[in-house]
């Protein structure tokens, strides 16, 4: 048996825009099912909101999202803030989405797309544990931790 985990993001009316944005950053296939698609009346409020959405790329990236029913304010459903203070990341976010790649060029391409309209918590740069690490909160309110896998000794 094989288990996988997939980050599932909850939005307030803008899941489609977020998923399209993530596909532009990571590539892959976009799947969207609306509340209308699963039987909601076409004239019902939120009928065209996302009940199931996913971006899945051949490089292993996958994220799921939906619009919380009855809630529309154009943000992610998570609340809180993330910032750098005295060299440490201070946050009250319940989660970050972590993306790790094998090379700096690979993660830099994702970073540059995610950074459009984002609040940079920590710029993408070499760190003590990685050839490239950065953190940002994207324009949808989701905080991403992006890094390059560090070589590990087989000790």
CATH number, domain containing residue 97 = 3.30.720.110
- pLDDT of the residue at 84: 78
Per-residue pLDDT of the chain (155 residues; tens, 9 = 90+): 655 778 999 888 999 999 999 999 999 999 999 989 988 888 988 899 999 999 999 999 999 998 887 766 666 655 567 777 766 666 666 678 989 899 999 999 999 999 999 999 999 999 878 899 999 999 999 999 999 987 764 44
| Same domain, residue pair 51 and 106 | no
CATH assignment at residue 42: 3.30.720
Contacts with 30 (C-beta within 8 Å, 6 or more apart), sequence order = 19, 20, 23, 53, 54, 55
**pLDDT value of position 105:** 93
Q: Indicate whether this model's pTM tops 0.85.
A: no
At 1 the pLDDT is 62
Residue 77 domain-assigned (yes or no): no
| Terminal C-alpha separation, the chain | 29
* Any domain includes 139: yes
- Among candidate residues 102, 49, 58, the one with its CA nearest the CA of residue 77: 49
Closest CA to 91 of 140, 127, 142, 30: 142
Domains: count for the chain: 2
pLDDT of residue 7: 92
- Distance between CA atoms of 108 and 33, rounded to whole angstroms? 31
What local confidence, expressed as pLDDT, does residue 125 receive?
95
Q: Which helix (H) or strand (E) holds 33?
A: strand 29-34
18 DSSP assignment: H
In this structure, what DSSP letter does residue 114 have? H
């Amino acid at each position: 048996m094989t288990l996988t985990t997939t980050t599932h993001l909850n939005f307030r009316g803008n899941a489609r825009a977020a998923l399209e944005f993530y596909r532009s950053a990571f590539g892959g296939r976009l799947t969207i099912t609306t509340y209308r698609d699963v039987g909601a009346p076409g004239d019902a409020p939120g009928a065209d909101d996302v009940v199931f959405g996913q971006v899945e790329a051949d490089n292993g990236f996958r994220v799921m999202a939906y619009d919380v029913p009855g809630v529309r304010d154009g943000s992610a459903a998570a609340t809180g803030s993330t910032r750098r203070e005295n060299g440490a990341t201070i946050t009250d976010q319940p989660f970050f989405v972590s993306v790790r790649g094998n090379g700096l060029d690979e993660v830099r391409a994702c970073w540059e797309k995610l950074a459009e309209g984002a609040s940079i918590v920590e710029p993408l740069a070499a760190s003590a544990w990685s050839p490239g690490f950065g953190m940002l909160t994207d324009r949808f309110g989701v905080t991403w931790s992006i890094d390059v896998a560090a070589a590990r000794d087989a000790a």
